[in-house]
Amino acid sequence: MIPIVENSFPGGTLLRLTQGDLTTMPVDAIVNAANAHLQHGGGLAAAIARRGGPAIQQESDAWVRRNGLARHDRPAVTGAGRLPCRYVIHAVGPMWGEGNEDHKLAQAVRSALETAASLSVASLGLPAISTGIFGFPKPRAAAVILEAITDYLQASPATPLRRIELVLFDAETVEIFRDAFTRRFPPP
């Protein structure tokens, strides 16, 4: 894992942009960029299911049977199987072109953070939700995701989350998010 830039918030939470593999991140929980049916067949979801083992898909199927489809404002939570974390929070981001994408992406990020806090986790790995196979433009997503995290942390300074890692895999996405990060949190 390569830390790129970071920002500390008044409540003590550290937000860090990191390049690496989310499935190997040493955190309490990770966020999966999921679809509403929690079928983990492509993109990051497939990598999480592969690395974590069949328990993640089995728990996801059971969650959908009990609760119905996951939504932007209601992520699912499963165990992490063989992953190095305890939980996977399955957040449903918007597909580009479905309408009201910025709001839905912000809602997915906020609900993932709220869910992590409800699980009392101290550290969370978060991907660039919706920027892969869902086609959300990365520069726009970076701004929306960083704003949603900032809004959450300003509204919830007592959150149990002490460290949020925005974990990005490829260099192009890292550079786009680094630019957005340094615009939002200019270095001193």
Tell me whether residue 159 is in a domain.
yes
Distances (CA, A) of 108 to 1, 162, 175, 188: 25, 20, 23, 31
Q: How confident is the model over 102-132, as pLDDT tens digits?
A: 999 999 999 999 999 999 999 999 999 999 9
85 within a domain of the structure (yes/no): yes
CATH value at residue 170: 3.40.220.10
- Two tokens, residue 69: 């489809």
Owning domain of residue 39: 16-184
How many structural domains comprise the chain? 1
Whether residue 11 lies inside any domain: the answer is: no
pTM of the model: 0.96
Q: What is the pLDDT of residue 3?
A: 80
Q: How crowded is residue 95: how many other Cβ atoms within 10 Å of its Cβ?
A: 15
DSSP letter, residue 94: P
Kind plus residue range of the DSSP H or E element containing 179 = helix 171-184
pLDDT digits (tens, 9 = 90+) for 136-157: 999 999 999 999 999 999 999 9
Residue 8 forms part of a structural domain: no
